Every structure is written in C-alpha cells, then in structure tokens.
Structure 1
Amino acid sequence: MPDLLVAFAPVGWLNQHDWENPHVSVQTFSGGSLPFYLAQDGKSTGSAKPIPFWEAPGVVDALHKVRKYYLDGIINKDALNVDSSTIKSQFESGRIATRWAMTDGLSSQSLTPLRKAVPTAQIANVVPLRGGKDAKPNQTFQADNFVVLNVKGRSNERAMQLEDWVSIKENHDLLSYGVEGTDWKPVGADKFQQLSQYSFPGFALCWRQKLELKIKDITPTEEAWFD
C-alpha cells in the first residue's frame, strides 16, 4: 500500500532497518497524515517518545532508494500517491512486475487477466519477513477487522440474528460468492470457480474461517500462505 512506502511498520518497503526490526511501531498524527515512530520501550518507561518519520532509522535512506529507482525507471513514477486499483490494473496488464496483496487467497485472480497480456506469466506470493512462515505477527488480535456491537445499542439482538444467519453456509456463500451456478460453482470441497463479476463487500460481516472457499486457480505460493 502507498503508506507502506515511506514509514509504516513493520515493513517500510524499502527501509532495510524495518525489515530487520519488525517490531517498529508507527502512528499518524490526526489519523492519516504525518507518521511518527514510537519508542519500543514505551511500556516500561511510560513514554512513547514519538519522533517524526524522517528521524527514524533507515527512512531517509529508503527515500533516496525511492528516488533512485524512480530515476532508473523501475518504480511507479507516482509511487507515493498511486491508488491500489491503478496498481492492480497496471499489474494485470503486464506493465509492472510487483504489487502488494493481502493473504486472503484472492490475489491469484489476477493471473487470468495477466496471462491475456503476458501468456507465459506466473504469479508468486512472497512475504519476505525474517523467518518466513515462522515469523510471528506483531499483533494480539484484540482488535482488527471484527464486528463490534455497542453495549447500549438498541438493535443488538437483530444484529446477532443477522450474524447467525450469515453463519449458515448457504447464506454465507450467497453473500460472499453470489448465486451458485450463476456467479460461481464449487470445485472440490474447499474451492470455487468464479463465473461472473459478482462482488459483495461482506468483509468482517461474512468472514467465517470454516466456511471460506479458495478460488480454483489459487497459486501454490498463495495457497501456502493462506493456509
């Protein structure tokens, strides 16, 4: 993502320091503007000691790399601001060789349009963290893409009824994949083939670990990370 280019933890994209120190923590002033790096010993000292991103280790060197790769013509000329849909379309047309992806099992969908532009193309999903699959994410999972109800909410019972309804496989599949036979068809026990352009932003509303299906053409590398 564009934010990862300059300062954000744990990757910093071209910041070698952050690759080697994946516990870096970053927050942005006023929500989404100026990033600040936070001290890693803040819990014990009682102070986060925030510093602006350009004072953090490796960031200036990373910015110089961005500039060099731009001048060399091997990085998106608008890398600091380009939106994700543009990156995806450039990738699928064969104009760029890499893009960011989530470990949701869906980045392999780009393979079909990519091969229309580059018939011999192949996709590999790489998560180059030290330790590979043994790397432990810097996350307690106490808060993330979850559904949250206000304890004083007046519609909590109806909300839970909806969650229960979506937890039924037929309903989950209808919202997540569309009408079976029209928008998708099952492939084996844990995969599906997409037949239309149906897309519903169910996200946390619909996510059920035991009900999620993988796309038929998922690449071996993405399937390994997804699993």
Structure 2
Amino acid sequence: MKKRFAAILCVFLMTTVLAACAGGKSEISQSSASSTQAASEKLDPVTLKILMWGNRPADFDKVVAEAERRMAGTLNVKLDVVFVPVSDIMQKIQMTLASGEEADLIWDSPLASMYSNIASGYYEPLDDLLKKYGQNILATRPPEMFEGNKVNGKTYGIPLGDSQYFGYTYLIRQDIRNKLGIAPIKTYDELVKFAYAVKAKEPGLAPILPSIGFLSEASFRSRFDQETQIRRTQAMADITLYYKNNDGKVYNLLDEMEPKVWDWIKNARKMYQDGIIHPDVLAIKDYEGEFSGGKAAIIPVNDFGVKNNIEQAVMKNVPGGKVEAVTFFDKTPKKNITNFSQWNFMSVPITSKHKERAIQFLNWTQQKENYDLLAYGIQGKNWEAVGDDKYKPLDSNYSWFPYLWIWNPTFERLNASQSEEVIELNKFTRDANNFEKDVLTGFQFDPQPVLNEMTKFKTIEDKYYPTIFNGVLDPDTAWADFKKEGGPSLKKIQQEMQKQIDAFLHE
C-alpha cells in the first residue's frame, strides 16, 4: 500500500475542512469553485481518457452527460471513460503505459502495479500540479493521507479513500441467532459459542467460513488486537512479518513465534477439527457467495456494516434470512495505530497531453454537488439525500464506485440503511485525529533487493499459511515444516526491510 503527501496551504486546509465537516455549504465548494470557473473560462475543449476497472453502469452515460453539461463553457471537458474487467486491469494498465497509448487518468493500486509503474517512470509527479490546480483535492483530505502515500517524497497518485483505518467485521446470520435464542454478540468468545450452537442445531450450515490470507481465521483476529497492536507490513499481505507496539521494528513469526498468534492458530485448529470451520475452506473461491447463498452462518469481511449486495442476496436466497454485522473494534481515541495508507489512487501518465486539465477536472469533482453526481448518480433517480451526509440508493443502474476516481472523506455520504453503530464507526475512522500515528507513516518498502527471496517465499507461504491459519493442518508439525522451508527467505526479507526502516527513521 505507500508514501504520502505533506500538508500544503495549512490555513486554507484548516478553515475549509472544518467548514465542510460542519455540514453546511462548504467553503471548498464555494470559494474554490468560483476560482476554478474563473480560471477556466477560456479553456479550449478537451477529451480526457480515463482508465478504471469494473463494469459500466447502465446510467453511466446519463451521469457523464450531466457532468459535461455542468463543465460546458468553463472547464470544457469531455469524458472518455474506459472500464476494464478486473481480471484484465493490471495487464491493460501496463500495456497502456508501456506503449504510450493515449490516457490522461488511470486508476492504480499498490495491490496492482502502482509501485512498479512509478519505478518505471510512467507516472507524473503531482505535487506542483496539485499546488496550482488542486486546492479542493488537498482540502478534502487530511494532510496525513498525502504524507502517508508519498513515494520517494513525491505524490504520484491522488489517494482515494474515506477512512484512515480499515474496518473489519464478522457478518452473521441474525435470523439464525434469533432462532437459537442467542443474545446480540459482543465478544469473540460469544461469536464462537454461536458458531458451536449452529453446529449443534443447524445441520448443513457451516458455522464459520473464513477466506485465505488476511481473512484466514487466526490471521483475522489480529484486526481486533488493541493491546499488542499486531499489524501486517508493507511487504506481506499477512502477518508472517509484522509490526507491533509502534516501535519501528519488523518481527518475524518464523524466527520467533508471538504467543498471542500461536493461541489464535491453536484455536483455529480446534475449531476446524470440531467442524466449526468449513471443511472445504481452502477450496471455496467465492466465500461471500457461499454466505449469500445461505451456506454459512459467519464470515469475516474487511469493512464495517453489511454490504447491500450481500444483504439483498441473503434475503432473496434464504426465506426470512437476515444479516447483521459484528465488530470488536475499539473506538477509544488514540487506541489504534494507523499509517494512513490507502489502496486506491488516481494517477496521471507522464505521456498525457492534458495533465493540467486532468487535475482541474479532478479538482472540480471535489465540490459537493459534483461529487454527489459522480459518486451516486442522478439525484431523484439513482439516489436521494438523507440529510447532509447520508444517502439512500433508489435503483441499481448506477453502482457505487467513487473509490476508483474521486473518493474523499469530506463529501462521501454514508448509506442511510446502515445501523447507527456502523454509521458512527465510519465517522470515527474518517477523523485522522482519532488515531495514533504510526512512526512508519510515509515509509515505503522497496522489494527490489530481495525480489527473488520474496518470489521464493510466496510459493512456500501459499502452501502453509492458509492451511495453518485456518486450522486445516496440525500446527505442531506443519509450523516446523513452514519454518524449515520458508524461514531462510523470510529472514532475508525481514533484514532488508529493517535496514530500509532504520534508514527511513534516521533521515
């Protein structure tokens, strides 16, 4: 996921963001909108080509037509938005950049090919363009979002997000819980008791269906570890290497086992042997689909609340089916550590002929009325406002995808159908002041010196990590095999990472 962009125009940021958070007509929308219009009155028409993944919504062309109407006579921007299937997006991005194919804005992510594209010189540094044309872009995000996502001290992608900390939740079948006479779940132990009750009284329903990687049963529990603060590193998608205690050190499970993690692993093994974890957990590719089809009572997800598509699918597939979200997140201010990393970015190719206009367009999207249009569609048809900060979807013809191009924490509305608890959690995670700043905020790991070791370890990790952390293999023997096969490579990765961290901390 990461290096971010430092604070600019501090007085402007403080006054405009505070105004936006107050809920009225923000100064971002008023003063910056007028200056943008004045600066763009004589601009010649241009067409911006934008590359994103996903499927083109049914009403997308109607929304774009309205956006172009609003920009006519000022920015004079036309939009050529290309949607690429998720399975092809990495290849399409790399082909576009390597060939110099025309493109002005590209979605990218550290989980895709962002860092290698930056290293190859494909993306334009945006700091100067943002200072000149991106006042709204800067003002709608806390400075930490930029600082934490810089690469080598420069901003190569506008961070897209509405949270400073990723929410994690267990989705459970509320109708089953009610049927079994079990009270609302408040702790992990209560969750496990519910799972055992499902096993005893609901034959044919898998009590718990984890996924793999960070959504593995034992690994997922680290998300609610507020004492040790075990957190994954930038080098891994799981916790074989991990941070804890905000001390700037990289820890290695294959070098020295963390007692708490071992307890989680042993617990997963017991639940698997007891038939609590789905017996085919490693074979199921679409675990959310299994849950939506009524085949599991509990799944972990990387979000707060219940996703609309899952809720609707359960109601459709299971008569009387109902889903609720259970999280053990502690929202005590400063209790949780974050490095403000984001996972979605909008970047400008170095070969774009319209770099300034691309940033001006994105700046235009960061006004409340324009954000509402592109995030939710046509008001009154695709959605309706619920107060100043919530919305209600009216149809499925304009799917929600601000995370691909315009997402920010100031104007993003919350779905009014969510519970008050979920709404409050989402509001909490938007405020950077609620979190302790990671000492490694802004650190970006360069994998090149140990790329061969990382490739070698990934093969070994895929063999052992999902099986051990989901309880499929006996950890007393499997962990020794994992350590023997993967330990040497992981140690080299750890040492290189610590070397880079030490240099970062002593810059």
Same fold (TM over 0.5): yes
1:23 aligns with 2:260: no
Q: Looking at CA atoms only, which structure, 1 or 2, has the larger radius of gyration?
A: 2
> 2:331 is matched with which residue?
133
Q: What is the CA–CA distance in structure 2 between the aligned matches of 1:212 and 1:145, rounded to whole Å?
A: 17
The alpha-carbon deviation at position 76 of structure 1 amounts to: 3.0
Q: Provide structure 2 residue ranges, at least 5 long, that are not aligned to the other structure.
A: 1-210, 428-507
Q: What is the CA–CA distance in structure 2 between the aligned matches of 1:65 and 1:175, rounded to whole Å?
A: 46
Q: CA RMSD in A?
A: 3.8
List aligned pairs for 1:1-227, cutoff 5 A: 2-5=212-215, 12-14=219-221, 19=225, 21-27=227-233, 31-32=236-237, 35-38=240-243, 40=245, 42-43=247-248, 48=250, 50-52=252-254, 55-79=257-281, 82-83=284-285, 86-103=286-303, 107-129=307-329, 132-134=330-332, 136-141=335-340, 143-145=341-343, 147=345, 156-182=355-381, 184-189=382-387, 190-196=390-396, 198-199=398-399, 201-203=401-403, 205-227=405-427
Q: Provide structure 1 residue ranges, at least 5 long, that are not aligned to the other structure.
A: none
Contact preservation (8 Å) 1:35, 1:53? no
Contact preservation (8 Å) 1:6, 1:12? yes
Contact preservation (8 Å) 2:220, 2:300? no
Q: What is the CA–CA distance in structure 2 between the aligned matches of 1:28 and 1:53, rounded to whole Å?
A: 18
- Residues 89 and 40 (structure 1 numbering): CA distance in 2 closer, same or farther, change over 3 Å? same
**One-letter amino acid of the counterpart of residue 168, structure 1:** Q
Give per-residue Cα distances to partners, 1:126-182, cap 9 Å, x unaligned. 2214xx3216321142x42464768x8976523421321221334323332234455
Give per-residue Cα distances to partners, 1:29-60, cap 9 Å, x unaligned. 5x5588223564754xxx64544287232334
The number of residue pairs the alignment matches comes to 212
Contact preservation (8 Å) 2:226, 2:336? no
Give per-residue Cα distances to partners, 1:87-113, cap 9 Å, x unaligned. 222222222222233446662543232
The alpha-carbon deviation at position 191 of structure 1 amounts to: 1.4
**One-letter amino acid of the counterpart of residue 134, structure 1:** T
Q: Give the TM-score, by structure 2 length.
A: 0.35
Contact preservation (8 Å) 2:214, 2:237? no
Contact preservation (8 Å) 1:90, 1:96? yes
Q: Which SS does the other structure have where 1:97 is aligned? A: strand
Q: Give the TM-score, by structure 1 length.
A: 0.69
